[in-house]
Chains A and B, each alone.
Chain A
Amino acid sequence: AQSVTQPDIHITVSEGASLELRCNYSYGATPYLFWYVQSPGQGLQLLLKYFSGDTLVQGIKGFEAEFKRSQSSFNLRKPSVHWSDAAEYFCAVGATGRRALTFGSGTRLQVQP
Protein backbone atom coordinates (compact mmCIF):
# COMPACT_ATOMS: atom_id res chain seq x y z
CA ALA A 1 0.00 0.00 0.00
CA GLN A 2 1.13 3.50 -0.70
CA SER A 3 1.96 6.01 2.02
CA VAL A 4 3.13 9.60 2.32
CA THR A 5 5.31 11.10 5.03
CA GLN A 6 5.66 14.78 5.70
CA PRO A 7 8.39 14.91 8.35
CA ASP A 8 7.83 18.52 9.38
CA ILE A 9 4.62 19.17 11.30
CA HIS A 10 5.22 22.90 11.63
CA ILE A 11 7.63 25.27 9.87
CA THR A 12 8.16 28.98 10.48
CA VAL A 13 9.91 31.17 7.92
CA SER A 14 10.40 34.90 7.56
CA GLU A 15 8.63 36.75 4.78
CA GLY A 16 10.89 36.89 1.75
CA ALA A 17 12.88 33.83 2.77
CA SER A 18 13.01 30.66 0.70
CA LEU A 19 10.90 27.64 1.58
CA GLU A 20 11.24 23.90 1.18
CA LEU A 21 8.60 21.48 2.46
CA ARG A 22 9.57 17.83 2.51
CA CYS A 23 7.53 14.91 1.24
CA ASN A 24 8.54 11.26 1.06
CA TYR A 25 6.37 8.57 -0.44
CA SER A 26 6.25 4.81 -0.43
CA TYR A 27 4.87 3.26 -3.58
CA GLY A 28 5.80 0.29 -5.72
CA ALA A 29 5.31 1.83 -9.15
CA THR A 30 5.71 5.19 -10.81
CA PRO A 31 3.78 7.56 -8.58
CA TYR A 32 1.41 10.33 -9.42
CA LEU A 33 2.26 13.10 -6.97
CA PHE A 34 0.46 16.22 -5.87
CA TRP A 35 0.78 19.18 -3.54
CA TYR A 36 -2.31 20.86 -2.12
CA VAL A 37 -2.70 23.91 0.10
CA GLN A 38 -5.45 24.41 2.67
CA SER A 39 -6.26 27.68 4.39
CA PRO A 40 -7.97 27.47 7.80
CA GLY A 41 -11.48 26.03 7.54
CA GLN A 42 -11.25 25.75 3.77
CA GLY A 43 -11.04 23.02 1.16
CA LEU A 44 -7.88 21.98 -0.66
CA GLN A 45 -6.41 23.87 -3.60
CA LEU A 46 -4.20 22.03 -6.08
CA LEU A 47 -0.77 23.68 -6.28
CA LEU A 48 0.95 21.34 -8.72
CA LYS A 49 1.05 17.78 -10.01
CA TYR A 50 3.53 15.26 -11.38
CA PHE A 51 2.53 12.43 -13.68
CA SER A 52 5.64 11.82 -15.76
CA GLY A 53 8.35 13.57 -17.75
CA ASP A 54 10.29 16.55 -16.47
CA THR A 55 11.04 15.97 -12.79
CA LEU A 56 10.85 19.67 -11.95
CA VAL A 57 7.26 20.85 -12.09
CA GLN A 58 5.94 24.36 -11.83
CA GLY A 59 2.71 25.21 -10.08
CA ILE A 60 0.58 28.14 -9.17
CA LYS A 61 1.52 30.96 -6.78
CA GLY A 62 5.22 30.61 -7.64
CA PHE A 63 5.63 27.11 -6.21
CA GLU A 64 7.66 24.32 -7.75
CA ALA A 65 8.42 20.73 -6.78
CA GLU A 66 11.07 18.25 -7.78
CA PHE A 67 10.50 14.51 -8.11
CA LYS A 68 13.52 12.46 -7.07
CA ARG A 69 12.90 8.76 -7.64
CA SER A 70 16.15 7.68 -5.94
CA GLN A 71 15.08 9.44 -2.73
CA SER A 72 11.33 8.75 -3.05
CA SER A 73 10.80 12.44 -2.52
CA PHE A 74 8.69 15.22 -3.95
CA ASN A 75 9.70 18.37 -2.08
CA LEU A 76 7.88 21.65 -2.53
CA ARG A 77 9.86 24.87 -2.91
CA LYS A 78 9.31 28.59 -3.23
CA PRO A 79 12.14 31.11 -3.60
CA SER A 80 10.47 33.93 -1.66
CA VAL A 81 7.60 33.40 0.75
CA HIS A 82 4.75 35.90 1.12
CA TRP A 83 2.65 36.35 4.26
CA SER A 84 -0.37 35.03 2.30
CA ASP A 85 1.40 31.66 1.93
CA ALA A 86 0.70 30.84 5.58
CA ALA A 87 -1.48 27.72 5.45
CA GLU A 88 -1.40 23.93 5.73
CA TYR A 89 0.33 22.05 2.92
CA PHE A 90 -0.45 18.47 1.99
CA CYS A 91 1.48 16.11 -0.22
CA ALA A 92 -0.49 13.29 -1.85
CA VAL A 93 0.17 10.22 -3.98
CA GLY A 94 -2.25 8.66 -6.46
CA ALA A 95 -3.22 5.03 -5.85
CA THR A 96 -3.61 2.83 -8.91
CA GLY A 97 -6.87 1.06 -9.46
CA ARG A 98 -9.27 3.13 -7.44
CA ARG A 99 -7.79 6.48 -8.47
CA ALA A 100 -7.88 7.76 -4.90
CA LEU A 101 -5.36 10.07 -3.29
CA THR A 102 -3.39 9.14 -0.20
CA PHE A 103 -2.41 12.22 1.78
CA GLY A 104 0.33 12.98 4.24
CA SER A 105 -0.51 14.47 7.60
CA GLY A 106 0.38 17.97 6.47
CA THR A 107 2.89 20.71 7.27
CA ARG A 108 1.66 23.93 8.81
CA LEU A 109 3.54 26.95 7.48
CA GLN A 110 3.76 30.09 9.55
CA VAL A 111 5.23 33.27 8.00
CA GLN A 112 6.85 35.87 10.23
CA PRO A 113 6.91 39.53 9.15
Chain B
Amino acid sequence: ETGVTQSPTHLIKTRGQQVTLRCSSQSGHNTVSWYQQALGQGPQFIFQYYREEENGRGNFPPRFSGLQFPNYSSELNVNALELDDSALYLCASSLGSWTEAYEQYFGPGTRLTVT
Protein backbone atom coordinates (compact mmCIF):
# COMPACT_ATOMS: atom_id res chain seq x y z
CA GLU B 1 0.00 0.00 0.00
CA THR B 2 1.48 3.35 -1.09
CA GLY B 3 1.21 6.23 1.35
CA VAL B 4 0.53 9.89 0.65
CA THR B 5 3.31 11.62 -1.23
CA GLN B 6 3.90 15.33 -1.79
CA SER B 7 6.18 17.35 -4.03
CA PRO B 8 8.30 19.31 -3.85
CA THR B 9 9.76 18.88 -0.37
CA HIS B 10 10.91 22.46 -0.07
CA LEU B 11 10.19 25.57 -2.10
CA ILE B 12 11.34 29.18 -1.92
CA LYS B 13 9.27 31.83 -3.67
CA THR B 14 9.17 35.61 -3.80
CA ARG B 15 6.23 37.68 -2.63
CA GLY B 16 3.70 38.14 -5.43
CA GLN B 17 4.63 34.93 -7.25
CA GLN B 18 2.40 31.91 -7.75
CA VAL B 19 3.09 28.36 -6.56
CA THR B 20 1.70 24.89 -7.24
CA LEU B 21 2.05 22.06 -4.74
CA ARG B 22 1.26 18.45 -5.61
CA CYS B 23 -0.11 15.47 -3.72
CA SER B 24 -0.69 11.82 -4.54
CA SER B 25 -3.32 10.06 -2.45
CA GLN B 26 -2.89 6.82 -0.60
CA SER B 27 -3.94 3.89 -2.73
CA GLY B 28 -7.74 3.45 -2.72
CA HIS B 29 -8.50 6.89 -1.26
CA ASN B 30 -10.76 9.29 -3.19
CA THR B 31 -10.77 12.32 -0.89
CA VAL B 32 -7.96 14.82 -0.49
CA SER B 33 -7.72 17.57 2.11
CA TRP B 34 -5.13 20.34 2.31
CA TYR B 35 -3.93 21.98 5.50
CA GLN B 36 -1.59 24.87 6.28
CA GLN B 37 0.65 24.56 9.32
CA ALA B 38 2.42 27.73 10.39
CA LEU B 39 5.47 27.40 12.61
CA GLY B 40 4.53 26.39 16.12
CA GLN B 41 0.84 25.95 15.27
CA GLY B 42 -1.54 23.13 14.56
CA PRO B 43 -2.64 22.51 10.97
CA GLN B 44 -5.50 24.63 9.63
CA PHE B 45 -7.95 23.28 7.08
CA ILE B 46 -7.76 24.92 3.64
CA PHE B 47 -10.15 22.81 1.54
CA GLN B 48 -11.16 19.28 0.62
CA TYR B 49 -11.81 17.57 -2.71
CA TYR B 50 -13.99 14.52 -3.22
CA ARG B 51 -14.23 12.94 -6.65
CA GLU B 52 -12.82 16.06 -8.32
CA GLU B 53 -15.28 18.47 -6.67
CA GLU B 54 -14.53 20.90 -3.83
CA ASN B 55 -16.26 19.47 -0.79
CA GLY B 56 -15.65 22.13 1.82
CA ARG B 57 -13.41 25.10 2.46
CA GLY B 58 -11.83 26.68 5.48
CA ASN B 59 -11.21 30.36 6.16
CA PHE B 60 -8.73 30.98 3.35
CA PRO B 61 -8.99 33.61 0.58
CA PRO B 62 -9.80 32.72 -3.05
CA ARG B 63 -6.16 33.01 -4.07
CA PHE B 64 -5.86 29.54 -2.54
CA SER B 65 -7.33 27.16 -5.08
CA GLY B 66 -7.13 23.49 -5.85
CA LEU B 67 -7.76 20.68 -8.25
CA GLN B 68 -8.32 16.98 -7.98
CA PHE B 69 -7.64 14.71 -10.93
CA PRO B 70 -9.38 11.48 -12.03
CA ASN B 71 -6.63 9.43 -10.37
CA TYR B 72 -7.44 11.35 -7.13
CA SER B 73 -4.12 13.17 -7.04
CA SER B 74 -4.41 16.84 -6.22
CA GLU B 75 -2.83 20.27 -6.59
CA LEU B 76 -2.87 23.30 -4.33
CA ASN B 77 -2.31 26.61 -6.08
CA VAL B 78 -1.55 29.84 -4.30
CA ASN B 79 -1.53 33.12 -6.22
CA ALA B 80 -0.05 36.48 -5.22
CA LEU B 81 2.08 34.96 -2.47
CA GLU B 82 2.37 36.87 0.79
CA LEU B 83 5.02 36.54 3.49
CA ASP B 84 2.41 34.99 5.83
CA ASP B 85 1.94 32.13 3.37
CA SER B 86 5.27 30.72 4.57
CA ALA B 87 4.30 27.42 6.19
CA LEU B 88 4.28 23.65 5.93
CA TYR B 89 1.51 22.57 3.56
CA LEU B 90 0.10 19.17 4.34
CA CYS B 91 -2.01 16.97 2.14
CA ALA B 92 -4.17 14.23 3.63
CA SER B 93 -6.15 11.50 1.93
CA SER B 94 -9.13 9.50 3.09
CA LEU B 95 -12.09 7.50 1.84
CA GLY B 96 -15.20 9.44 0.82
CA SER B 97 -17.70 7.59 3.00
CA TRP B 98 -19.09 9.23 6.09
CA THR B 99 -16.91 8.31 9.07
CA GLU B 100 -13.96 7.12 7.03
CA ALA B 101 -13.60 10.60 5.51
CA TYR B 102 -12.49 11.88 8.88
CA GLU B 103 -9.74 9.27 9.17
CA GLN B 104 -7.12 11.22 7.29
CA TYR B 105 -3.62 10.08 6.43
CA PHE B 106 -1.06 12.78 5.93
CA GLY B 107 1.86 13.20 3.61
CA PRO B 108 5.24 14.56 4.71
CA GLY B 109 4.37 18.09 3.63
CA THR B 110 5.88 20.81 1.46
CA ARG B 111 7.79 23.55 3.25
CA LEU B 112 7.07 26.86 1.48
CA THR B 113 9.18 29.91 2.25
CA VAL B 114 8.10 33.27 0.84
CA THR B 115 10.73 36.02 0.82
Name A's B-contacting residues (CB within 8 A).
4, 32, 34, 36, 41-46, 49, 51, 90, 92, 94-95, 97-106
Question: How many contacts between A and B, using CB within 8 angstroms?
Answer: 71
* Residues of B within 8 A of A (CB-CB), count: 30
Helix, strand, loop or mixed for chain A's interface? Answer: strand
Chain B contacts for A51, CB-based, 8 A: 99, 102
B1-22 contact mask (Cβ, 8 Å, vs A): 1 or 0: 0001010000000000000000
Whether the pair B108, A42 counts as a contact (CB closer than 8 A) is: yes
Whether the pair B99, A104 counts as a contact (CB closer than 8 A) is: no
Min distance, Cβ A88 to any Cβ of chain B, angstroms: 9
**Is B28's CB within 8 Å of the partner chain A?**
no
Min distance, Cβ B54 to any Cβ of chain A, angstroms: 10
**Is B61's CB within 8 Å of the partner chain A?**
no
Which B residues, 25 to 48, have Cβ-Cβ distances below 8 Å to chain A?
31, 33, 35, 40-45, 48
Whether the pair A94, B102 counts as a contact (CB closer than 8 A) is: yes
Whether the pair A44, B57 counts as a contact (CB closer than 8 A) is: no
The closest CB in chain B to the CB of A33 belongs to: B102
Min distance, Cβ B106 to any Cβ of chain A, angstroms: 4
Chain B contacts for A36, CB-based, 8 A: 106
Whether the pair B101, A105 counts as a contact (CB closer than 8 A) is: no
Whether the pair A105, B41 counts as a contact (CB closer than 8 A) is: yes
The closest CB in chain B to the CB of A31 belongs to: B102
A32 to B41, CA, bound (A): 21
Question: Which one, A4, A43, A49, contacts B107 given CB within 8 A?
Answer: A43
B79-115 contact mask (Cβ, 8 Å, vs A): 1 or 0: 0000000000010101000010111111111010000
Known contacts A43-B90, A106-B42: does B106 contact A99 (CB below 8 Å)? Answer: no
Chain B contacts for A103, CB-based, 8 A: 42-44
